[in-house]
Amino acid sequence: MWDVFKDWIFDVIQFFYGFCGDWGLAIIIVTVIFRILISPLMHKQTKSTYGMQKVQPLIQEIQRKYADDPPRLQEEMQKLYAEVKFNPLAGCLPMLLQMPIFIALFQVLSEMGSRTQGTTYEFYNLVPSLVMRPSEAFAQGFGTFVPYLILMIIFAGATFLPMVLQQMGNKDNPQRNQTLIMSAVMSLFMLWISWGSPAGVLLFWGASSLIGIAQQQISMRIMKRRDAEQAETIEVKPIEVDVTRKVKKPRPTKKGDQKKH
């Protein structure tokens, strides 16, 4: 089953290679199509995260109020998550969806030499060979290594850049520094992974991460603009007061007045 999936990945890349005549561009086209397919999931994730940013004061208040009561703190946090429809695991889902393609592409590019003959698998004149690893390029000299180094930096940095961008706007968030430190450590780990990965895999993951950042920023701007329009509507719209005048009841007549008549 896994071999069938790998063959399918290669066939898709080869199909687009037949149109554009470049293996790197074919990988980027496949990446774009993949990101379009998961764009609804990405928008939902960004919307959830944006909702959490808006309720940060409530989160801090809950943490302060129930600091000595962990069970109650957990309960109140779960209630808040449910209210703003936030799923802490949602941020990992897009990355998990990419992992099978990442692994399959890693193996496919490692087997490229046996799949087809007489091709260099280059990315125009930018990357000499998409099947070559940065460690192998480094052994051939720094000039050969430079494009692979750029791919490594994009691969490592763009993976966790969305998390960093989200935290940059949360200056009062106590978890901000922890998140930034974790992102830096994980980026170093990704650099280590990229050292032994084929350049085509780095191209796929780096392009996918950059497109994901663009999707995130577009979603954030849409939601911020929507909130601004709603706030403006509330401020401009005049307050409508429904005033209903009471119907006056006829005054009761006195007995003396009745005798006069």
The predicted pLDDT at position 88 comes to 62
Contact between 130 and 82 under an 8 Å Cβ cutoff? The reply is no
Contact between 140 and 148 under an 8 Å Cβ cutoff? The reply is no
Cα–Cα distance, 41 to 81 (Å, whole number): 18
Query: CA 99 → CA 26, 89, 102, 212, distances in Å?
Result: 19, 16, 5, 15
The answer to whether the Cα torsion of 114, 34, 30, 132 is positive or negative is: negative
Per-residue confidence band for 172, with pLDDT thresholds at 50, 70 and 90 = low
The predicted pLDDT at position 161 comes to 79
- The chain-wide mean pLDDT, for the chain, equals 79
Write out pLDDT tens, residues 204-224: 889 988 888 888 888 888 888
Write out pLDDT tens, residues 8-21: 888 898 899 888 88
For the record, the structure tokens of 59 come out as 């989160």
Alpha-carbon 91 to chain mean position? 7
Q: Which residues contact 97 (CB under 8 A, 6 or more apart)?
A: 38, 41
